[in-house]
Structure 1
Amino acid sequence: MSIGGFLRRSIYWTNDFLHGSPVGKHYRDIHTILSDEKRGKQLQAESLKNLLEFAKKHSAFYSQYDSNDITSFPIVNKNILIANHDKVAVKAEDIPEQKTKEIYVQRTSGSTGTPFAVPADTRKRNRRIAELKYFGMLGGFKSHEKLGQCRVWTKWHNKSKKQQFMENILAINISKMDNDTVKNLVETVKNEHVVALLGYANWFDQIAQYLGEHPTPLPSLKVIFTGSEMLKEQTRSELKRLIGCNVLERYSNEEQGILGQQSAKGEYEYYLNHASYYFEILKLDEDKPADPGELGRIVITDLYNYAFPLIRYDTGDTAIMAEGNKLSHGWQYISKLYGRRLDLIFDTNGNPVQPMALARILKNLKGIIQWQFIQTGEHEYKIRLNMEENISTKECEAELRELLGERAEISVEMVKEIPILASGKRKPVVNEWKKQ
């Protein structure tokens, strides 16, 4: 624990207390629910009942449903919610604890090839902050210690210098995964005494390889949190061996928040955030509960977003659910999670490019319903776009060329639908050219 981290943490929680503990109350509620399944299920059931009653009353999309039985509500996905966005959304004046008329909009990066904008009310935003602090603590990281946040930072998504200072965050841009970027990151962790790293799972493949070739002691680093894709087991083992810190995968998405996380005391199970979400595992080919030990679809109800009720939301992921144990305090947990894997592509200089860099660019360009990016040659790329209307793609091409290099030859193909794989998922990033 650092003095700087302690002071920032003390200032934060004191300020939160003086303003009525909008985050602290959620933090304590999450702890209460997750540490006691019996009491937790009672509180979860109350939250679910309140959400369903609210949605029926204030969301035009859900007004036709009379029952409080969640199985009577429809299963929805991104495309359904996008098509019915205005009907699902709730007016600001009807949302409890909403402080402003302005509703925050959480934009997903479109890792499935379908960008998605989800309104989030004040209470939901505070819940997400509490989740970050609580699950960080479970992983051995206290909030406001030095955190290296490795992501694709763009002009649409950034933190001010003041934010970085107050939150004790180092914003590390990893749009490209070349050796210079990895070297700079490792040196930053060492020199800045970073306590935790948070980033995309496939990025840590590069770090493990670099540290294997250039052993570098990183004594300050206590935990690595990964997300977006499943981490390779070899990468996890190498990082633990080379650094000596815990490596924990998070199950999360941008439209909801932290859904679950591996435990530092466990193996590879994902302990779920039952405090904020209601989980269902349904059969792959029908809307019925999967049998114990059976692979099924993950369907999630967000208990705290009243601005845009996400009820029975099919995430597109699959998993196997297991009965509770001591580590989960009796709650069911995911014993096997099947996340999305993205193809790796290369820029015109032969450097690997973070697939999420494409998503970060494309989610902010107006009119895109779905996209698919394909590398067809050493300098040749194709982007397939399903767009709402005939909008110029010049900005899109310019942003991609800045990422890939000026020699990039980018062709644009307008389509009405992105092809679906046999698994039922769309593959947003494809490499048809394999680097020799």
Structure 2
Amino acid sequence: MKGSPVRKQYNDIKYIDRHTKERCAPLIGQKLHKLLEYAQTHTDFYSRFDSFELRDYPVMNKLSLIQNMERIRVAPEKIPGQKGEVHIQRTSGSTGVPLAIPQDTAKRQRRIAELKYYGKAVGFTTHEKLVHLRSWNKWQNKTSRQIRLENIIPFDISKFGPEELENLCRLLVEEKVVCIRGYATTISNLAAYVRNSPEKWVFPHLKIVIAGGEALYDDVRQMVKEYLHCEIISQYADEECGILAQERVPTKENDNPMYFNHAGYVFEILKLESDEPAEWGEVGRIVITDLHNYACPIIRYDCGDTCVLMPPDKYSKGYPVMAKLYGRRFDLTYSTDGKAVSPLTYGRILKNYDIISQWQFVQLQEKKYELRLTLKSEPAGQMADLAAGLRNILGQDAELEIKEVRDIPVLSSGKRKPVMNEWKKN
């Protein structure tokens, strides 16, 4: 009755995702040209530009978007097809800079289409029962009507102790939940609880776990497959734009590449210290141009995350692939000779020590590091072996202290940072 606006967006995503870069380049080029022309015409900030080459536009970050928001956002009456007010999408501010992005009706439909398409790609069909694990507040929480219509059950993880975990397990069984979506550390807590629980939990309807917001460590993959008895995939998304990249299933044990959502965004991977393109295999900044937000054109947005780009593989249709997602730029850690270390590297060492319950690795200075652990039992001489393994990665001249702590703090967003850099904060 409404002309199937979400279906049209879905089909567009499907077409571009399933065809080659060469075949889809003209279509993506048209989208980019249209967006840049629109931004030049309808925004004060971009009115001074007359180029259709992205390299001629400034790279923006959260702070510069906030400072220029009134000059970038477009009045609702000037947005094509917009009826009523635009939606305001707010970020959690877990990086210290909360951001509110206006999104027009078509962009909201696009986000729904992305959820449908990328869920279907890993075996989850929209409106199958899904539990969404996150910190829900009064502005974000779903109404009873939304829960019924969408079949999405919000589960608050602001407090996530044994009682909440038991309630979650019971909910998964009683509601016949098919999919869980949440942060990787939250999924880790759930899998560890099931593993250690005296009650033998079985979730017969659970098909897939979609983990986002953080790096997905190998031990979490293994625990989910062993104790939740389903597949788990890593999805890269942000609240400002939408789903940016995702793994494919079935996954391997290690080093699963992520495939970009080229149907919705233009991606640039730029060097850490300049706006030049990063080389293959080099850690670079992820810079995004959103092709579909006409309420607030997002052009060359440095979202703060980093990754390693590699040449196309046999599944990527000619596009480069994200070999490794490193996460926040300011959480990158470095070896003593200045090379960036993948967060997953630490996890692959620490997963071999069963006495470790939780961990957090922190770089304090150029060659000074601290590993914070919560332990299930006495280490019995294992720490020397662990330190040797870490020094093989960091350098033999690394000043490494292993410290036992009672708990690893959780951010207000519900995320727990396994890797931090307190040396390079700026």
| TM-score for both structures, normalised by structure 1 | 0.75
Instruction: Give the 3 Å change call, closer, same or farther, for CA 54–120 of structure 1 in structure 2.
Output: same
Tell me, in whole angstroms, the C-alpha distance in 1 between the residues paired with 2:219 and 2:16. Answer: 34
Q: Which amino acid aligns with 2:97?
A: T
Contact 1:251 1:258 in 2 (8 A): yes
2:154 is aligned to 171
SS at match of 1:225: strand
Whole-angstrom CA distance in 1 between matches of 2:315 and 2:411: 34
Q: What one-letter code is carried by the residue in structure 2 that aligns with 1:189? A: L
| Residue of structure 1 in register with 2:215 after alignment | 230
328-337 vs 154-163, greater mean Cα deviation = 328-337
2:265 corresponding residue in structure 1: 277
Matched with 1:292 is: 280
TM-score, normalization: structure 2? 0.77
Partner of 1:355: 411
Shift of 1:235: 1.2
Q: Which residue of 1 aligns with 2:3?
A: 20
Q: 1:62 to 1:424 in 2, by over 3 A?
A: farther
Residue 176 of structure 1 contacts residue 352 of structure 1 at CA under 8 Å; is this kept in 2? no
State the partner residue of 1:265. Answer: 250
RMSD: 2.3
After superposition, residues 87-236 of structure 1 pair within 5 angstroms as 87-100=71-84, 102-214=85-197, 215-236=200-221
Secondary structure in 2 matching 1:61: coil
Residue 251 of structure 1: which of 236, 244, 248 is its match? 236
Distance 1:196 1:233 in 2: 20
Q: Distance in 1 between matches of 2:42 and 2:413?
A: 37
**Deviation at 1:249?**
1.1
Specify every segment of 5 or more residues in structure 1 that has no aligned partner in the other structure, as ranges: 1-17, 360-372, 374-419, 426-436
CA distance in 2, matches of 1:285, 1:52: 26
Aligned residue for 2:5, secondary structure, equals: coil
- Give the drift of 1:272: 0.9
Provide the residue aligned with 2:44 in structure 1.
60
Match of 1:364 in 2: none
Q: Give the match for residue 300 of structure 2.
A: 312
Residue 414 of structure 1 is matched in structure 2 by none
Please, which moves more after superposition, 243-252 or 123-132?
243-252
1:42 Cα deviation after fit: 1.9
| Aligned residue type for 1:151 | R
Cα distance in 1, alignment partners of residues 40 and 424 from structure 2: 33
Structure 1 residue 41: Cα displacement:
2.0
Deviation at 1:195, TM superposition (A): 0.2
Find the counterpart in structure 2 of residue 241 from structure 1: 226
**Which has the higher mean CA deviation after the structures are superposed, 112-121 or 335-344?**
335-344
CA contact (8 A) 1:279 1:301 kept: yes
Task: State the distance in 1 between where 2:176 and 2:150 align.
Answer: 15
Asked if 1:82 is matched to 2:53, the reply is no
Q: Does 1:72 align with 2:56?
A: yes
The structure 1 segments of at least 4 consecutive aligned residues displaced by more than 6 Å after TM superposition are 341-344, 350-353
Matched, 1:50 2:38: no
Contact 2:191/2:228 (<8 A) preserved? no
Q: How far is 1:356 from its partner? A: 3.8
Q: Which residue of 1 aligns with 2:345?
A: none
Task: Output one character per residue of 1:336-363: Cα deviation in whole Å (capped at 9) or x when no partner.
Answer: 001147979x9xxx8876424479xxxx
C-alpha distance after superposition, 1:211-254 (max 9, x if no partner): 11124121211000111111221111111111221111110111
Return the letter of the residue paired with 1:225. Answer: I
Corresponding letter in the other structure for 1:55:
A
**Following TM superposition, by how much is the alpha carbon of 1:421 offset from its aligned partner in structure 2, in angstroms?**
5.1
Percent of pairs identical after alignment? 43
Residues 87, 339 of structure 1: alpha-carbon distance in 2 compared, 3 angstrom cutoff = same
**What is the distance in 1 between the residues matched to 2:9 and 2:3?**
11
Could you tell me whether the CA contact under 8 Å between 1:219 and 1:243 is conserved in 2?
no
Query: Using a 3 Å threshold, how does the CA distance of structure 1 residues 75 and 422 change in structure 2: closer, same or farther?
Result: farther
- In 2, distance between residues paired with 1:20 and 1:73? 35
Measure how far apart 1:283 and its partner are.
0.8
Question: Which moved further from structure 2: 175-184 or 22-31?
Answer: 175-184
Which runs of 5 or more structure 2 residues have no equivalent in the other structure?
A: 332-358, 361-371, 375-405
SS of corresponding position for 1:207: helix
What corresponds to 1:328 in structure 2? 316
Cα displacement (A) at 1:275: 0.3
Distance 2:318 2:412 in 1: 35
